Structure 1
């Protein structure tokens, strides 16, 4: 079968400089190929997520996201990366893009030298801490909650989050596909977090927009506030300006272009 040459970009999302934030690949298509081929491309890229963008019959932009192992229903940093490609690096420069996704329409707007995403907030439900979660983290959280797919574990300090060394094999065996750990910020930030999802092929995600769809309502309920400056305390690290607006979460961040090229499909 004859191969097709398509554009690919790699963007460092939630960072104003290269080699920080969360790298995502963005593949621009005329239409989506078989799921197995997109999964193979994501595995080949071996990044937390690869975003695939293609127009539908009506000309609306469709967006899908794949980790190295599975397709996911929402990915914040790869949405930010896809928007940066379309708004800054392809075609005529513009200020807004709307993607149609498994999580509904997601809009991204140019704002304050970066980009603001409008994502659905997640319902966060408090519950008892499973012993398996404490064992996997190597510490007993102060509080535990779930946002559907993930556990959310509250620790005492930002230093506790930064120094955490979970048993990733045990995390992968939990009955949720990911674990968000969070704590109050260290002064410069309102709260900090890390995200582990080895069951999805992501040992630790550098900066996770989707996790903040739960973190923002979680911290809003605790503080009575609606705006936050957050930091994800991974080795690469990233900063997010966050706002809770009804049942939506607005996340603002910058992007840095690392790579532009083509792949053969």
Structure 2
């Protein structure tokens, strides 16, 4: 049997934030088996950890349909899992080897976890045909890209919360995903967002840590702040503390384990 945990990331309350499944394997079996497990979990991401001889870990992330290069909430969940189960010393930083290079996680005394991620620059872009249709008729005030996703700024946080996307149209725009954002009207937060990835099998991702690699530098340029607090205004909602340091983004979040179980069907050798 293989242990599986489901952990809600970017929240301190169960059933909020973004759930990720975390699975620790001595070594990786076939990609087909990893994808089948992620499909069975049917969460935005399932994280597969494999320990290395030097105390670091390989880390891979799968949506129900594809493997992805970078995932914030499942990295946060993986760090939480390793420390909570005693497999790693909370006083020592964690090192993950991923498709996006080396990523680090460290624990703070207040229960928050800090992730060290790369920054993604946003450049202004022409709006694709039918963008307004994909946004349910809403016309954006700014459109940019990080090379994979569109970043779309709307006029207000209320417009972000009330957005009713057409996912069929969105999936045909030729981009991986869409990060929709606005300045927050709540003084506790600097900006709000919602994130959509229908081409990856995720219509709306509840809280997307990796999206803030692009959102944070965009809002730094607009607000003139290196440290910000963000809210992702999905139905589940999540909070992220952000700090830009040179070309890196420190993403701070909390996590809660909601389920512990066993996978009864290990890979066939």
Deviation at 1:58, TM superposition (A): 5.0
TM-score by length of 2: 0.94
Match of 2:164 in 1: 165
Q: From 47, 61, 71, give the equivalent of 2:43.
A: 47
Match of 2:142 in 1: 143
Moved more, 105-114 or 125-134: 125-134
Deviation at 1:90, TM superposition (A): 3.3
Q: CA 1:215/1:129 → structure 2, altered by over 3 Å: closer, same or farther? A: same
Match of 1:127 in 2: 125
Distance in 1, matches of 2:52 and 2:88, equals 20
Match of 2:2 in 1: 6
Q: How many residue pairs align between the two structures?
A: 261
Distance in 2, matches of 1:129 and 1:189, equals 28
Could you say what secondary structure the match of 2:94 adopts?
strand
TM-score by length of 1: 0.96
Distance in 2, matches of 1:113 and 1:225, equals 24
Does structure 1 residue 34 correspond to structure 2 residue 30? yes
| Partners of 1:31 and 1:56 within 8 A in 2 | no
Match of 2:58 in 1: 62
Q: From 21, 26, 41, give the equivalent of 1:25.
A: 21
| Partners of 1:12 and 1:23 within 8 A in 2 | yes
| Partners of 1:24 and 1:77 within 8 A in 2 | yes
| Partners of 1:191 and 1:229 within 8 A in 2 | yes
Does structure 1 residue 154 correspond to structure 2 residue 140? no
RMSD value over aligned CA atoms?
Answer: 1.2
Instruction: List runs of 5+ in structure 2 lacking aligned partners.
Output: none
| Partners of 1:8 and 1:260 within 8 A in 2 | yes
Match of 2:250 in 1: 250
Match of 2:105 in 1: 108
Match of 1:180 in 2: 179
| Partners of 2:56 and 2:94 within 8 A in 1 | no
| Partners of 1:87 and 1:97 within 8 A in 2 | no
| Partners of 2:229 and 2:242 within 8 A in 1 | yes
Could you say what secondary structure the match of 2:174 adopts?
coil
Instruction: List runs of 5+ in structure 1 lacking aligned partners.
Output: none
